[in-house]
């Protein structure tokens, strides 16, 4: 046995349990820590792995919290790390994970989803409830929320974005006990950053004017550090240089990452993240 394998064996805790898992995922997990020390050891190992999302790399504390939150939802540790993310300071779930949790709870009688020309529909029926429940999310709703003008997923995957909104609202309304108040990542990504909102409110209170970022200054371009982070994210998500160059040209009419504006930085990061989370094509 190699020295590396011996080291991993020594670091890996015994298969035990910290919080009872209440879903079908319990049978699928072989890593279930029994106490905080074992959880910390697992978090250290996971945070060094290339298989965890970038927001958990080198951050064992975040891994601990994600695993604990996932355990409360019924997710095994690795599933928690793959399906829980923190956006604008809020923990949230991918839309497909929300549906998986509801299905695993045994409380869902059926779900029907379909799209029309400018709207997405989600009909669900919870067991024991007298009537089914429907949510619709349309282009008109997206327009009111200021989503249709945003570059990124709403331009490239509009049908999918509408579907995720309708599904998220329906599941949260009918299965709040299963989802524990968590929103979908697709929804939270489109929400304004609370810190930026607070800065804008304070600015308006002091000056009586609305804070509108300038788009004329050279300072509005992303920094070299941000360019480096963007390239790291591109590599981590397995996106080719040619693909992101084509995206920048088609969406922002720029030919180099040095031309990226700070106001577009988060949308480009979101686009990179979305590439490996698109499930099929919704037509």
C-alpha span between 226 and 216 (Å, rounded): 19
> Can you give the pLDDT at residue 195?
43
The tokens 């949790």 sit on which residue? 101
The answer to whether the pTM exceeds 0.85 is no
> Can you give the pLDDT at residue 131?
94
- What string of DSSP letters covers the chain? --HHHHHHHHHSPPS--SS---SGGGGG-S---SSHHHHHHHHHHHHT-TTS-GGGTT-HHHHHHHHHHHHHHT--HHHHHHHEEEETTEEEE-HHHHHHHHHHHT-EEEEEEEE-SSEEEEEEEETT-SS-EEEEEEHHHHHHTT-TTSSSHHHH-HHHHHHHHHHHHHHHHH-HHHHTTPEEHHHHHTSPPHHHHHHHHHHHHHHSS-----SSSGGGBPPHHHHHHHHHHHHHTT--HHHHHHHHHHHH--SSGGG-BHHHHHHHHHHHHHTTT--S---
Question: pLDDT in tens for each of the 283 residues of the chain?
Answer: 445 434 434 544 443 344 444 444 445 556 677 888 888 888 999 999 888 888 888 888 888 888 888 888 888 888 899 899 877 667 888 878 899 999 999 999 999 999 998 999 999 999 999 999 999 999 999 988 888 887 778 888 899 989 999 999 999 999 999 998 888 887 777 765 444 344 344 444 544 544 444 344 445 788 887 888 888 888 877 888 898 888 888 888 888 888 888 878 877 887 777 765 443 333 3
> Can you give the pLDDT at residue 208?
54
Are 53 and 37 a contacting pair, CB within 8 Å? no
> Can you give the pLDDT at residue 271?
78
């Amino acid at each position: 046995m190699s020295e590396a394998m011996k080291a991993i064996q020594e670091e890996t805790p015994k298969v035990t349990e910290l919080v009872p898992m209440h879903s079908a995922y319990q049978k699928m997990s072989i890593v279930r820590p029994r106490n905080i020390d074992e959880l910390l050891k697992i978090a250290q190992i996971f945070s060094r792995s290339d298989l965890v999302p970038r927001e958990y790399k080198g951050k064992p504390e975040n891994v601990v919290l994600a695993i604990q939150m996932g355990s409360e939802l019924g997710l095994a540790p690795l599933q928690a790390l793959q399906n829980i993310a923190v956006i604008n300071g809020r923990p949230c779930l991918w839309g497909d994970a929300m549906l998986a949790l509801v299905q695993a709870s045994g409380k869902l009688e059926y779900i029907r989803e379909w799209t029309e020309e400018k709207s997405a529909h989600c009909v669900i029926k919870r067991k024991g409830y007298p009537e089914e429940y429907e949510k619709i999310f349309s282009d008109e709703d997206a327009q009111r929320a200021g989503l249709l003008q945003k570059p990124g997923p709403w331009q490239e995957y509009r049908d999918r974005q509408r579907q995720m909104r309708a599904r998220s609202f329906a599941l949260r309304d009918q299965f709040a006990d299963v989802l524990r108040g968590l929103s979908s990542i697709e929804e939270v990504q489109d929400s304004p950053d609370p810190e930026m909102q607070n800065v804008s409110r304070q600015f308006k209170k002091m000056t009586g004017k609305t804070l509108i970022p300038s788009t004329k200054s050279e300072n509005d371009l992303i920094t070299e550090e941000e360019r480096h982070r963007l390239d790291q994210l591109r590599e981590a998500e397995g996106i080719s240089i040619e693909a992101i160059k084509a995206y920048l040209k088609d969406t922002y009419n720029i030919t180099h990452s040095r031309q990226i504006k700070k106001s577009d930085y988060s949308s480009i990061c979101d686009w990179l993240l979305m590439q490996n989370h698109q499930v099929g094509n919704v037509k």
